[in-house]
A = this chain, B = another copy of it.
Amino acid sequence: MYGIKSLKGMFSKACEYGIRASIFIATNSSKGIRVGIKDVAKEIDSPEPFTAKIMQILTKNGIIHSAKGVGGGFEVSDEAVKSIKLIQIVDAIDGDKIYKGCGIGLKECSEDHPCPVHHEFKKIRGLLLEMLTKTTLEQLASGVKSGDFFLKTLNIND
Protein backbone atom coordinates (compact mmCIF):
# COMPACT_ATOMS: atom_id res chain seq x y z
CA MET A 1 0.00 0.00 0.00
CA TYR A 2 2.43 2.66 1.18
CA GLY A 3 5.33 0.22 1.32
CA ILE A 4 8.54 2.17 1.27
CA LYS A 5 10.94 -0.48 2.15
CA SER A 6 13.45 -3.08 1.34
CA LEU A 7 13.48 -6.40 -0.41
CA LYS A 8 15.12 -8.16 2.47
CA GLY A 9 15.66 -11.86 2.19
CA MET A 10 16.61 -14.32 4.91
CA PHE A 11 20.31 -14.06 4.06
CA SER A 12 22.45 -11.20 2.77
CA LYS A 13 23.23 -10.99 -0.95
CA ALA A 14 26.79 -11.91 -0.08
CA CYS A 15 25.58 -15.05 1.64
CA GLU A 16 23.20 -15.97 -1.16
CA TYR A 17 26.07 -15.69 -3.65
CA GLY A 18 28.34 -17.63 -1.33
CA ILE A 19 25.91 -20.53 -1.07
CA ARG A 20 25.17 -20.66 -4.79
CA ALA A 21 28.89 -20.38 -5.63
CA SER A 22 29.81 -23.17 -3.23
CA ILE A 23 27.21 -25.47 -4.73
CA PHE A 24 28.35 -24.72 -8.26
CA ILE A 25 31.97 -25.36 -7.38
CA ALA A 26 30.99 -28.60 -5.70
CA THR A 27 29.15 -29.85 -8.78
CA ASN A 28 32.35 -29.41 -10.77
CA SER A 29 34.82 -30.68 -8.21
CA SER A 30 33.12 -34.08 -8.30
CA LYS A 31 34.13 -34.19 -11.97
CA GLY A 32 37.65 -33.10 -11.04
CA ILE A 33 37.17 -29.70 -12.62
CA ARG A 34 38.39 -26.45 -11.10
CA VAL A 35 36.30 -23.42 -11.98
CA GLY A 36 37.45 -19.83 -12.26
CA ILE A 37 35.72 -16.85 -10.72
CA LYS A 38 34.41 -15.86 -14.13
CA ASP A 39 32.61 -19.16 -14.59
CA VAL A 40 31.27 -19.03 -11.07
CA ALA A 41 29.79 -15.56 -11.50
CA LYS A 42 28.32 -16.51 -14.84
CA GLU A 43 26.76 -19.75 -13.65
CA ILE A 44 25.20 -18.30 -10.52
CA ASP A 45 24.33 -14.95 -12.13
CA SER A 46 26.24 -12.74 -9.71
CA PRO A 47 28.56 -9.72 -9.98
CA GLU A 48 32.03 -11.09 -10.58
CA PRO A 49 34.22 -8.82 -8.39
CA PHE A 50 31.82 -9.03 -5.46
CA THR A 51 31.63 -12.77 -5.81
CA ALA A 52 35.43 -12.88 -5.80
CA LYS A 53 35.43 -11.16 -2.41
CA ILE A 54 33.02 -13.70 -1.04
CA MET A 55 35.15 -16.53 -2.36
CA GLN A 56 38.03 -15.07 -0.36
CA ILE A 57 35.98 -15.32 2.82
CA LEU A 58 35.06 -18.90 2.03
CA THR A 59 38.63 -19.93 1.23
CA LYS A 60 39.96 -18.24 4.38
CA ASN A 61 37.40 -20.22 6.33
CA GLY A 62 38.58 -23.43 4.70
CA ILE A 63 35.22 -24.08 3.11
CA ILE A 64 36.48 -24.09 -0.44
CA HIS A 65 39.99 -24.35 -1.81
CA SER A 66 41.58 -22.08 -4.37
CA ALA A 67 44.59 -22.44 -6.64
CA LYS A 68 46.30 -19.60 -8.43
CA GLY A 69 47.91 -19.67 -11.82
CA VAL A 70 47.27 -21.52 -15.03
CA GLY A 71 44.74 -24.28 -14.53
CA GLY A 72 43.86 -22.81 -11.18
CA GLY A 73 40.47 -21.92 -9.81
CA PHE A 74 38.16 -23.05 -7.05
CA GLU A 75 37.43 -26.56 -5.91
CA VAL A 76 36.15 -28.56 -2.96
CA SER A 77 37.61 -31.93 -2.11
CA ASP A 78 35.33 -34.95 -2.19
CA GLU A 79 35.60 -35.32 1.57
CA ALA A 80 34.85 -31.63 2.12
CA VAL A 81 31.79 -31.75 -0.12
CA LYS A 82 30.48 -34.55 2.07
CA SER A 83 31.30 -32.90 5.38
CA ILE A 84 30.59 -29.23 4.79
CA LYS A 85 27.23 -28.11 6.08
CA LEU A 86 25.26 -25.11 4.89
CA ILE A 87 25.59 -23.55 8.31
CA GLN A 88 29.34 -23.20 7.87
CA ILE A 89 28.82 -21.02 4.83
CA VAL A 90 26.10 -18.93 6.44
CA ASP A 91 28.10 -18.55 9.60
CA ALA A 92 31.23 -17.44 7.77
CA ILE A 93 29.39 -14.75 5.83
CA ASP A 94 26.33 -13.62 7.79
CA GLY A 95 27.20 -14.81 11.26
CA ASP A 96 24.81 -16.54 13.63
CA LYS A 97 22.23 -13.83 14.26
CA ILE A 98 19.71 -15.27 11.84
CA TYR A 99 19.44 -18.50 13.83
CA LYS A 100 20.37 -17.19 17.28
CA GLY A 101 19.20 -13.58 17.50
CA CYS A 102 15.92 -12.15 18.73
CA GLY A 103 13.30 -11.89 16.01
CA ILE A 104 12.30 -8.35 16.87
CA GLY A 105 15.71 -6.99 17.70
CA LEU A 106 16.23 -7.28 21.46
CA LYS A 107 19.95 -7.22 22.09
CA GLU A 108 19.88 -10.87 22.98
CA CYS A 109 17.37 -13.64 22.80
CA SER A 110 16.81 -14.94 26.30
CA GLU A 111 14.52 -17.50 27.82
CA ASP A 112 14.47 -15.48 31.03
CA HIS A 113 13.68 -12.16 29.40
CA PRO A 114 11.75 -13.11 26.28
CA CYS A 115 10.23 -10.78 23.73
CA PRO A 116 6.58 -11.24 22.73
CA VAL A 117 7.39 -13.41 19.71
CA HIS A 118 10.08 -15.43 21.45
CA HIS A 119 8.33 -18.79 21.78
CA GLU A 120 6.97 -18.88 18.26
CA PHE A 121 10.09 -17.41 16.75
CA LYS A 122 12.25 -20.00 18.47
CA LYS A 123 10.46 -22.70 16.52
CA ILE A 124 11.18 -21.00 13.21
CA ARG A 125 14.82 -20.40 14.06
CA GLY A 126 15.06 -23.97 15.26
CA LEU A 127 13.76 -25.34 11.97
CA LEU A 128 16.17 -23.07 10.11
CA LEU A 129 19.08 -24.15 12.28
CA GLU A 130 18.17 -27.81 11.81
CA MET A 131 18.08 -27.37 8.05
CA LEU A 132 21.38 -25.50 8.00
CA THR A 133 23.03 -28.04 10.27
CA LYS A 134 21.84 -31.13 8.44
CA THR A 135 22.22 -30.06 4.84
CA THR A 136 25.56 -30.90 3.24
CA LEU A 137 27.11 -29.37 0.16
CA GLU A 138 26.95 -32.83 -1.37
CA GLN A 139 23.18 -33.03 -1.05
CA LEU A 140 22.74 -29.66 -2.67
CA ALA A 141 25.26 -30.31 -5.42
CA SER A 142 23.80 -33.70 -6.32
CA GLY A 143 20.39 -32.14 -6.91
CA VAL A 144 21.93 -29.64 -9.28
CA LYS A 145 23.90 -32.33 -11.10
CA SER A 146 20.79 -34.44 -11.56
CA GLY A 147 19.00 -31.44 -13.02
CA ASP A 148 16.36 -31.32 -10.33
CA PHE A 149 17.54 -28.02 -8.89
CA PHE A 150 18.89 -24.80 -10.33
CA LEU A 151 21.35 -22.09 -9.35
CA LYS A 152 19.86 -19.24 -11.34
CA THR A 153 16.56 -18.14 -12.74
CA LEU A 154 16.06 -19.34 -16.28
CA ASN A 155 16.61 -16.46 -18.66
CA ILE A 156 14.50 -16.13 -21.79
CA ASN A 157 17.39 -14.28 -23.46
CA ASP A 158 19.98 -17.03 -23.31
Residues of chain A whose beta carbon lies under 8 Å from any beta carbon of chain B:
1-17, 19-20, 23, 57, 60-62, 86, 91-95, 97-98, 101-108, 113-118, 120-121, 123-124, 127-128, 131, 135, 139-141, 143-144, 148-154
CB pair A7 B149 closer than 8 Å: no
CB pair B5–A105 under 8 Å, yes or no, is no
Taking a contact as CB atoms closer than 8 A, the residue among B97, B113, B124 that contacts A9 in the complex is: B97
Interfacial chain B residues near A153, Cβ < 8 Å: 106-108, 113
25 contacts between A and B (CB under 8 A): A1-B62, A2-B92, A3-B57, A3-B92, A5-B12, A5-B57, A5-B95, A6-B12, A8-B15, A9-B103, A9-B105, A10-B121, A10-B124, A11-B104, A16-B105, A17-B105, A23-B116, A86-B117, A106-B151, A113-B153, A113-B154, A114-B148, A116-B139, A116-B143, A124-B131
